[in-house]
Structure 1
Amino acid sequence: MHRRTLIAFAAATLATGSVFAQAYPTKPVRLIVPFAPGGTTDIIARVIAEPLGRALGQSVVVDNKAGAGGGIGALEASRAAPDGYTLSVATVSTTAANPAINKKIGYDPVTDFAPIINIAATPNIIAVNPKFAAHDYKSFVALLKKEPGKHSYASSGAGGIGHLQTELFKSLTNVFVTHIPYRGAGPALNDVVGGQVPIMFDNLPSALPFIQQKRLIPIVVAAPSRLPSLPDTPTFKEVGLEPVNRMAYYGILAPKGTPKEIIDKVHAGVKKALEEPAVKKRIEETGSLIVGNTPEQFADQIKAEYEIYKGVVAKQKLALQ
């Protein structure tokens, strides 16, 4: 009798969970952005939030939780209830670079989340303030070699993709510039545009408007080929630095244990949003490429990128100060 009761209870629990997932969502969904407003992660999140909300039938509210190179927001997202009402934006910084360098980050990017979809792949770029003496790649590297330690670069945070990719760039070119970490790309960009820091390694969408306004000068870009928006800017591969020629990604994660029915609903909602011409146009205008892959494909991508950056950290003997 006791065994039958347990079986009946388990069946009822599963049925209740299934009904709950089918009814989802019945209230607004929170989308954690683990960086400050103004950066690429925030831009992509806000482009997708409204159409995703329409697809789900509930509003999707963007919540910026900056700090620790994205680690604070990602940790909060990993600890959220697996009910679909707290999702988060995944970046290379939060799912690969930062966990690779920060052993105390508090979450495992592979096991503590349920990947849903990679929204877009985004080029990364080194750009400088117009007052910086070098405005092209050759003179940029020559100046840094001539004046080691004199210059500094900004990133969205210690352990982020901008930090690790710049450190990789430094090791391959034998230059030295000082790292100035910020609480997101937005604040970092403000200081580079304002001239407080001369150099930044950033994701293209947040830097591109300033480049188009000639408030930043592009030096070199991480992309499969030269970009139509920056036809005169070489790729890292062109200048002989293929290991640095890695694009960023922006996807959506749920906490581990989130029911498959909810994962599928959010995935379908994002796919529907990406089919909207205005959404597609807005994302592609940033220089990003729409991906829209499956949860399984995104999970494999996260695993692969995490392994790559663990290798970078080990090879370059990097550690957080």
Structure 2
Amino acid sequence: MMNRRQILATAAAAVLIAPLAVQAQGFPNKPVKVIVPFAPGGTTDIIARIMGERITPALGQTMLVENKAGGGGIIGANELAKSVPDGYTLGMATVSTVAANPAINPKTPYNPLTDFVPVINIAATPNVIAVHPSFPARDYKTFLEVLKKSPGRYSYATSGTGGIGHLQMELYKSLSGVFITHIPYRGAGPALNDTVAGQVPVIFDNLPSALPFIKDGRLIPIVVAAPQRLAVLPNVPTFKEIGLEPVNRMAFYGFVAPKGTPRDVVDKLGAAVRKTLEEPAVKKRIEETGSVIVANTPEQFAAQIKAEFEVYKKVVEVQKLALD
């Protein structure tokens, strides 16, 4: 038999658990907020807003997108980690926030493997190195020659220090033997604006946010990180083709919730996303950005996050990368 102390402890635990259980049963009964940890205009923002605009019929509630930029995605991701785990606050997880940045930044205030509950990986996208039309190269061979001829003369823009663009470009630099200076921004949107304006000559970006500028001729694509050549950029080689397979990694964008979010709430959210992604109009919009729809399970997404984190941790160790 339980003593009085055990009975009181059990009762207290039940009181704490009960509100989440009730919320799970009636979930969702108010709008769901999604924290995008980068400025508007980047791929993370684009994917989040496509979902936010189209998920209401499947979810039964509106989905509001809120941008919290800074720290290469750390500020927004940390806010999510500290949110109430009731399913009403989600975050967009990217390779930058749950792998690259935690791998290079020992002061990251959250653990990417334990402080979030993966919900669903929405899409994966190729990455691209692109240049301003004034840059003296239009193809990879000439690009490499220009950089090797003038080490330190050129700079490249990314969505932030410690992000996937930063670490992938640093890996590229170490493998190719070039030197080019990093200029970090508070998201892909601002980085693209300055590159398109000619203030920075080179950018490492996710393809969906860079593609409209490439199509308009305001950026010239040089090389892509993708499993094979892309239909939208048939003349642009992959990193694997140029002999740099370790750099040939795609980015991902998925929903994660704070640690402790009930599994049935996670399942409801995942089911709503999956149903939305089945809509031809949504599928078309995402695929038109150059992305591939993933729509996997929480367990599969957790395995992807762990694998990417380990890859970038090794990159940081082997290349002896550190924050400035």
From 61, 66, 77, the equivalent of 1:63 is: 66
Which deviates the most, 196-205 or 45-54? Answer: 45-54
Contact 2:20-2:86 within 8 A present in 1 as well:
no
Answer with 10-19 or 205-214: which moved more. Answer: 10-19
**Alpha-carbon deviation of 1:91?**
0.2
Q: Work out the number of aligned pairs and report it.
A: 321
Corresponding residue number in structure 2 for 1:82: 85
- Alignment partner, residue 53 of structure 2: 50
TM-score of the pair, normalised by structure 1: 0.98
Compare 6-15 and 156-165 and name the one that shifted more.
6-15
Structure 2 counterpart of 1:279: 282
The aligned residue for residue 204 of structure 1 is 207
Q: Bigger shift: 38-47 or 19-28? A: 19-28
Give the Cα–Cα distance (whole angstroms) in 2 for the partners of residues 12 and 280 of structure 1: 43
Distance of 1:160 and 1:193 partners within structure 2: 20
- Cα distance in 2 for partners of 1:217, 1:179 equals 19
Q: Show the counterpart of 2:306.
A: 303
Given candidates 230, 233, 239, the residue that maps to 2:233 is 230
2:136 counterpart (122, 133, 138): 133
Shift of 1:105: 1.4
Distance 1:15 1:107, change over 3 A: closer
Partner of 2:38: 35
Which residue of 85, 107, 110 corresponds with 1:107?
110
Tell me the alpha carbon deviations over residues 172-231 of structure 1, each in whole angstroms, 9 at most, x when there is no partner.
110000000000000000000000000000000000000000000000000000000000
Instruction: Flag structure 1 segments of 5+ consecutive residues without an equivalent.
Output: none
Instruction: Tell me how far apart the structure 1 counterparts of residues 8 and 109 of structure 2 sit (CA, whole Å).
Output: 38
Q: What is the correspondence of 1:243-282 to structure 2 with a 5 Å cutoff?
A: 243-282=246-285
Distance 2:81 2:11 in 1: 31
The 3-state SS of whatever aligns with 2:271 is helix
Matches within 5 A, 1:85-234: 85-234=88-237
Alignment-derived partner of residue 313 in structure 1: 316
Cα distance between partner residues in 1 of 2:105 and 2:9: 43
Cα distance between partner residues in 2 of 1:199 and 1:158? 16
How far apart are residue 15 of structure 1 and its match?
4.9
Secondary structure class of the residue paired with 2:55: helix
Deviation at 1:24, TM superposition (A): 1.1
The Cα RMSD (Å) is: 1.2
Stretch moving more, 214-223 or 16-25? 16-25
Paired residue type of 2:323: L
One-letter amino acid matched to 1:265: K
Q: Relative to structure 2, which stretch is displaced further, 45-54 or 191-200?
A: 45-54
1:89-134 CA-partner distances (Å, limit 9, x unpaired)? 0000000000000111100100000000000010000000011001
Separation (CA, whole Å) in 1 of partners of 2:7 and 2:210: 62
Structure 1 ranges of 4+ moved more than 6 A: none
Show structure 2 runs of 5+ residues with no match. none
Q: Read off the aligned partner of 1:23 and give its amino acid letter.
A: G
Distance in 1 separating the partners of 2:82 and 2:21: 22
Task: Give distance in 2, aligned partners of 1:202 and 1:178.
Answer: 15
The Cα shift of 1:9 comes to: 5.1
Counterpart Cα distance in 2 of 1:242 and 1:7: 55
Give the CA deviation at 1:56: 1.5
* 1:17-68 deviation per Cα after TM superposition (whole angstroms, max 9, x unaligned): 3222010111111100000000000000001112223321111100000011
Distance 1:53-1:138 versus aligned 2 partners, 3 A rule: same
Identity %: 68
Q: CA deviation at 1:14?
A: 4.3
Q: How far apart are residue 318 of structure 1 and its match?
A: 0.7
2:292 is aligned with 1:289? yes
Whole-angstrom CA distance in 2 between matches of 1:204 and 1:187: 15
> How far is the alpha carbon of 1:8 from its aligned partner?
4.9
